[in-house]
Amino acid sequence: MPANNQVPVFVSSDAARTVFRWKDAIAALQQAYGLPIPAKATPPRTVAILEKTWLRTLPAIPPGGRYFGAKLMGSNMGDAPPGIEYVIVLFDRTTNHIAAFVDGNLVTGFRTAATSAAALDRLAPQGPARLAVLGSGLEASMHTRAFASVRQLSQVTVFSPTPERREAFAAAVTQDLGIPATGVASAREAVEGADIVLTAARSRGEEPILFGDWLKPGATVVSIGSTIPEQREIDVSVVERSDLIICDTLEEVLTETGDMIAARAAGIEFHHKAFSLADLMSGACNEQMASAKAPMFKSVGGGLQDIVVAELILTKALEAGLAIPLPMNFETKR
């Protein structure tokens, strides 16, 4: 282990997939967000850009964790082959050494869905629930599985513009989770009568895909697809309808996502009903929770989520012998 011989390890996506468990990740995130989190421990993401090349960095030092570090992702969107690679670098607080490099692609999907489920577990009423899913990609698939670990899903209805994709999604949910699932021809049809609504697929034209008057009273909304000013996912009517808005990274959600920028431009006031995920987990907004009839969780992702889930995966991969020791040593500056 890195703590003993100082040799860093690599954790592949295959290893992460083998050791990952939804309930463990959700519990770890609920615990992490329930602790006091100094602002300097989770600074905002940074993005370096030169022409068509970009590099994004998400650093964090989770309170109470053994590891700290950052996720890096980057791409040249010009002449290079298309694609983005992610790496999470973990430092060990007990040794001051670089402990691991974790392939961040699958971890990103895991942490996003687990964070949403951690919030949903506090926001949605207990008992069986009908889930509407707008989208049929990796995030939609992971979120459905994460939600199924915290709520009994009685039915899943999915809309995706491509009939083959939504039918394949529904078939996989039924086969893997044993939950009746169907694909439908419109977003509105999917949402009708749903207790929980997940939006995980922005439209190609960056037009809203969910509207407030589609939602039944008491429905909980989870929105994950609008993370930068240029992106749209939910209509301003959804923001207006929501009487409690939980944000994983409060200021980034409220000021840097296209959905909230559009709501502000439409004259909708939402700051008074917006709280952080830490507020939700610590109980700081219990009074608002008690009276909320139309809660929403909105996410942009954050380094804290990456590091908490990566630590969990690293620990389990080491225990299972699935972490690969790397033939390298870093020089320590004294």
Is there a single domain that holds both residue 206 and residue 164? yes
Is there a single domain that holds both residue 147 and residue 259? yes
Give the pLDDT of residue 79: 85
CATH number (domain holding residue 10): 3.30.1780.10
pLDDT band at 2 (very low <50, low <70, confident <90, very high): very low
Place of tokens 């407030």: 212
pLDDT surpasses 70 at 65:
yes
Give the pLDDT of residue 5: 56
pLDDT per residue over 148-178, tens digit each? 999 999 999 999 999 999 999 999 999 999 9
Q: What percent of the chain has pLDDT over 90?
A: 90
Q: Is residue 178 situated within a structural domain?
A: yes
pLDDT surpasses 50 at 120:
yes
pLDDT surpasses 50 at 192:
yes
Is there a single domain that holds both residue 211 and residue 278? yes
Q: 201 or 319: which carries more pLDDT confidence?
A: 319
Give the pLDDT of residue 73: 96
pLDDT band at 1 (very low <50, low <70, confident <90, very high): very low
Mean pLDDT for 64-85 is: 93
How far does the chain reach from its first CA to its final CA, in angstroms?
A: 22
Is there a single domain that holds both residue 146 and residue 82? no
Give the pLDDT of residue 3: 42
Please state the domain count of the chain.
Answer: 2
What average pLDDT does the chain have?
A: 95
Is there a single domain that holds both residue 284 and residue 309? no
Q: Is residue 331 situated within a structural domain?
A: no
Q: Is residue 214 situated within a structural domain?
A: yes
Q: Is residue 332 situated within a structural domain?
A: no
Range of the domain at 62: 2-108+304-325
Q: Is residue 116 situated within a structural domain?
A: no
CATH number (domain holding residue 270): 3.40.50.720
Q: What percent of the chain has pLDDT over 70?
A: 98
- Angle subtended at Cα 279 by Cα 236 and Cα 250, rounded to the nearest 5 degrees: 45
pLDDT surpasses 60 at 328:
yes
Is there a single domain that holds both residue 167 and residue 260? yes
Q: Give the contacts of 143 (CB within 8 A, at least 6 positions apart).
A: 112, 113, 116, 117, 133, 198, 200, 222, 224
Q: Is residue 115 situated within a structural domain?
A: no
Q: Residue 55 belongs to what H/E stretch?
A: strand 53-60
Q: Residue 185 belongs to what H/E stretch?
A: none
Tell me which of 76-85, 87-96, 270-279, 313-322 is least confident.
76-85
Contact 98, 90 (CB under 8 A): yes
pLDDT band at 223 (very low <50, low <70, confident <90, very high): very high
Is there a single domain that holds both residue 146 and residue 256? yes
Is there a single domain that holds both residue 127 and residue 273? yes
Is there a single domain that holds both residue 142 and residue 100? no
Is there a single domain that holds both residue 97 and residue 156? no
The distance from CA 322 to its chain's CA centroid, rounded to whole angstroms, is: 25
Q: 331 or 177: which carries more pLDDT confidence?
A: 177
Q: Is residue 7 situated within a structural domain?
A: yes
Is there a single domain that holds both residue 207 and residue 163? yes
pLDDT per residue over 231-251, tens digit each? 999 999 999 999 999 999 999
Contact 140, 49 (CB under 8 A): no
Give the pLDDT of residue 131: 98
Is there a single domain that holds both residue 225 and residue 180? yes
Q: Is residue 60 situated within a structural domain?
A: yes
